[in-house]
Amino acid sequence: MTDRRTRQRTGQRHEVPEGVVHGVKRRLTSPQWLARAAGVCLSGVSIGFVVLFVFIVETAGDLALITRPLPMRIALALPYLVATLAVGTAAGTLLAWRYRYWTRPVRIHQTVLTLLGLAFSWQLWTLGFLSV
């Protein structure tokens, strides 16, 4: 019987079980999972943008809006990601209502999240963070 260290020294490769690879591929192509992931990312990126933007303006002052240091450029790139995720969440919500992926309360929650994401994107557009 060989122990773990012996197998590592001999160069044997550890194979990933076939079921794990199939499960990951199935999940990444599942509309239900993608719709939820878009909603979660939308929430995280939106909150991250607001926190990062406020932090940069508080620490660097108003001059950061003119000179645009690297953290400010990163923060100003996030609204485009927010808008993209809002559109993706809306598409996932429409599919969820059409094919009844989840229960009604979950679909209502996803709809509210989508409406908030679209409203936030519209607000970003109005304030000039999104431009054509």
What's the pLDDT score for residue 12? Answer: 61
- Residue 31's SS3 state is helix
Q: Which of 104, 105, 107, 79 lies closest to 92, judged by CA?
A: 107
What's the pLDDT score for residue 64? Answer: 87
Distance separating alpha carbons of residues 17 and 129, to the nearest angstrom: 46
Q: Give the pLDDT confidence of 67-109 residue by residue, as tens digits.
A: 989 999 999 999 999 999 999 999 999 999 999 989 999 999 9
Distance separating alpha carbons of residues 125 and 131, to the nearest angstrom: 7
Q: Give the pLDDT confidence of 22-75 residue by residue, as tens digits.
A: 777 777 778 899 999 999 999 999 999 999 999 999 998 888 888 989 999 999
pTM of the full structure: 0.79
Contacts of 43 (CB under 8 A, 6+ apart): 113
